[in-house]
Chain A
Amino acid sequence: MIEQLTFHNLRGIRAGRLAKLGQINLLVGPNNSGKSTVLEALYLMGVSGREASLVIENELSGDQEATQGLLLPVWTPNRYDLLGEAPLPRLWQRHGEPGRWSRKFNIVSDAEENDLRLRLPFLSSADPLHEFFVHFGDGLHKQDDPLTTALCTWKITAAGSNQPLPGWLRFYWEDEAIFGQSPAQHFSLLWYPDFAYKAASVAAWAAQGQLPAPENVLFFDLHTATQHFHKRFFRRLQEIGKTRPWKKPLAQRFARLFDLPPDIVVTLEEQPDFPGRMQGIVETDVNIAIDHYGDGARHAFKVLAGLIALAESVDEMHPGLFLWEDPELFMHPATLGRLLQEVVELVQDKPIQVFISTQSTDTIAFLTDFATRDVMKPDSLQAFRLGLTKGQLATSRFKYNNLVAWLRDGLDPRFWGIPNTPLRYRFGGRDADE
């Protein structure tokens, strides 16, 4: 399980830390407070499973490092994530960019079959990443279309305090204390300017603890809810289906959400109009494509399908990560509560870590209520309120007991300071004093 995250120059976050992470982590706070950035950082680091080697040759001013010039094993994102989507194009589509980033680097040389030398002209010549050399392993090929985008981010793992990290990493890291800590540290670097704080330098972030298996990372957001599944995801479900059922659990959970007959059947069918894409079909007395249901049902169906696939894929050696942005999207509060309960039941006894960013007090209250009613373990739940001031990420952590106290007393964990909304709520239908 990831225990701590540290950020430097990633999107709107100049510096910040999220510590004491748990199994189910809620991210709350105002708009532009860093919630999506945290999810995206976790996603990129989580899906990074393709090995390559990186050589930094640029001299560091006044401090030639022993590790400089050596091959450093790094990992770039897998070609496809759990849902069968290419991770980086997926991320920048979230930000309104085309499916492929414009190349903001120069390929200096690609003479060797498995080597590439890149220059990043927007970085100063003193920057270690101004020019570097990459050697591809078997899993990464120059002919691979998303390769050049995949090369914009690397994960570097130190197995513990005994393994020295390359000194040039310090160029991107203000916080010396994080070096040499146990347990394992994982660092990610992302040089694409649009993802760096004020486009000034290279974005860097670190995680402490056990990362998920790169193939077991599920990122669910608005785009996932409104798109058809990729055929690659269907193939994964088929693979799962050889040994474990997925259709029946999906049908049962979906039926419970929307009060449908318990014997409904669900499946995925190809979409002729969308090559390579599959659509969920719910078979009752008639067959209805899931995308013909309302948006809430589409959202819920796809969340459940993805999460069932994740839950059936993980084990202790291959833990999972579920990143869920705005679970309240399109959802009536009553359905949201049932969906959250299904999600909690699917993950709580599995090695799956969950990060949910939300703007909804319903989401916070439902999860707190589940912990109160022993639907989930109270100590597995925590919320982090985020805030950004001049790039500095402020975080405050709510444990279960804090959430209960705040909600019962009508305080709103989403706000720093005094809420300026006209609506007040009563958690559990009672005042704190009663």
Chain B
Amino acid sequence: MLMNKRIFAFGEGVTEKTVWNKLHSKLPQSESKIGGAFHAVGGKSGFKKKMLDILEPEFCPGGYVRVVVFRDVDKGEDIQQILPSFKNLAQDLLSCSIELVNHPNYTNVFVADIQPTDTSTGMRFVLHLAATPSLLSSAIVDLGLRNQTTDTYILALALLDSVLERFAREAKTKKDILESKVVSEIPNLFQKNGIRFDEDKDLLAAYLVATRFWTVKRTDQKERLVKIILDRAFKYDSQNAWKVFASWRAAIEEVVP
């Protein structure tokens, strides 16, 4: 009973939660394999407090806690700088040292596993650091994004042909025109006028404008846009959608019972 099958997933905000919910629902036998809640920590600085507040009660002798963390990587941040903070956090929870081992197939996924004893708690800890997803439009890569966040993955999905096609139809235009607006014309216009436009969020904002999302969907909520992009990507091109989220999937599969 107490060998807990619940997974505690942590990420910075609502976008990560939306992605988690989508991937969770799409994984085979997900209901029986994965349960638990996603916890938005409210920004990078919120990981430690939120994770301690949520996880402390789970640490009782003989228990086994499953944790997966999704963290963005900002420009200038080095993976080797990020890892120690999570290693220390996991050690604070377990009161013993852990080793985060790189996933054999994904350089941005790290795993630690401590088995429980009669007097201590075990933990499976998986850390996913955002990276440039495969299938991201080369035009975007060429822009040299300042950071890697979950929005980068959403952007990659949004620029899949089938997803673009669907949005273009609603905006009464062609997908090539739409793509051009998002990946070059709008960014170039901003940069030509000396306005920085080099974050994945800027590109998603351009997408929102170019698809006339506000007008068509009567909402400017970014999370609504993210949800629709996810829905359309998995509906019209699920194979490539999974390619984009391959490292996410690897992280989730590492933590499931």
Which residues of A are at the interface with B, using a C-beta cutoff of 8 A? 385, 387, 389, 392, 394-399, 401-402, 404-406, 409-411, 413, 416-418, 432-433
B22-43, CB < 8 A from A = 35-37, 39-40, 42
* B59 and A418 contacting across the interface, CB-CB below 8 Å: no
* A418 and B53 contacting across the interface, CB-CB below 8 Å: no
* A394 and B62 contacting across the interface, CB-CB below 8 Å: yes
Give 27 pairs: A residue, B residue, CB < 8 Å, sorted on A: A385-B57, A389-B2, A394-B62, A395-B60, A396-B59, A398-B56, A399-B56, A401-B53, A402-B53, A402-B54, A402-B57, A404-B53, A405-B53, A406-B54, A411-B37, A411-B54, A416-B1, A416-B2, A417-B1, A417-B2, A417-B35, A418-B36, A433-B13, A433-B14, A433-B17, A433-B40, A433-B42
CA–CA, A395 and B58, complex, Å: 9
Q: Say yes or no: is B5 at the interface (Cβ < 8 Å to chain A).
A: yes
Q: Say yes or no: is B50 at the interface (Cβ < 8 Å to chain A).
A: yes
> Which chain A residue shows the least CB distance to B17?
A433
Q: Say yes or no: is B48 at the interface (Cβ < 8 Å to chain A).
A: no
Q: Give chain A nearest CB distance to B34 CB in angstroms.
A: 9
* Cβ–Cβ < 8 Å partners of A392 in chain B: 62
Which residue of B17, B36, B39, B63 contacts A394 across the interface (Cβ within 8 Å)? B63
* Cβ–Cβ < 8 Å partners of A410 in chain B: 37
* B17 and A396 contacting across the interface, CB-CB below 8 Å: no
Q: Give chain A nearest CB distance to B224 CB in angstroms.
A: 14
* Cβ–Cβ < 8 Å partners of B2 in chain A: 387, 389, 394, 416-417
* B57 and A398 contacting across the interface, CB-CB below 8 Å: yes
* Cβ–Cβ < 8 Å partners of A399 in chain B: 56
Bin chain B's interface residue count.
Answer: 20 to 34
* Cβ–Cβ < 8 Å partners of A394 in chain B: 2, 60-63
Which residue of B54, B61, B62, B63 contacts A405 across the interface (Cβ within 8 Å)? B54
* B4 and A416 contacting across the interface, CB-CB below 8 Å: yes
Given A417-B6, A433-B14 in contact, is the A397-B1 Cβ separation under 8 Å?
A: no
10 tightest A-B contacts by CB? A405-B53, A418-B35, A396-B57, A396-B60, A433-B40, A398-B57, A433-B14, A394-B2, A405-B54, A401-B53
8 A-B pairs besides A418-B6, A432-B39 with CB distance below 8 A are A397-B56, A404-B53, A406-B57, A409-B39, A410-B37, A418-B5, A433-B13, A433-B17
> Which chain A residue shows the least CB distance to B35?
A418
* A417 and B4 contacting across the interface, CB-CB below 8 Å: yes
Q: Give chain B nearest CB distance to A230 CB in angstroms.
A: 40
Q: Give chain B nearest CB distance to A409 CB in angstroms.
A: 5
> Which chain B residue shows the least CB distance to A432?
B40
Please encode chain B, from 128 to 170, with 1 for each CB lying within 8 Å of some chain A CB and 0 for all others: 0000000000000000000000000000000000000000000
* A405 and B50 contacting across the interface, CB-CB below 8 Å: yes
* Cβ–Cβ < 8 Å partners of B36 in chain A: 418
* Cβ–Cβ < 8 Å partners of B58 in chain A: 396
* Cβ–Cβ < 8 Å partners of A387 in chain B: 1-2
Q: Give chain B nearest CB distance to A395 CB in angstroms.
A: 6
Q: Give chain A nearest CB distance to B153 CB in angstroms.
A: 19
CA–CA, A194 and B37, complex, Å: 41
Q: Give chain A nearest CB distance to B2 CB in angstroms.
A: 5
B1-15, CB < 8 A from A = 1-2, 4-6, 13-14
CA–CA, A87 and B1, complex, Å: 34
* Cβ–Cβ < 8 Å partners of B57 in chain A: 385, 396-398, 402, 406, 413
* Cβ–Cβ < 8 Å partners of A402 in chain B: 53-54, 56-57
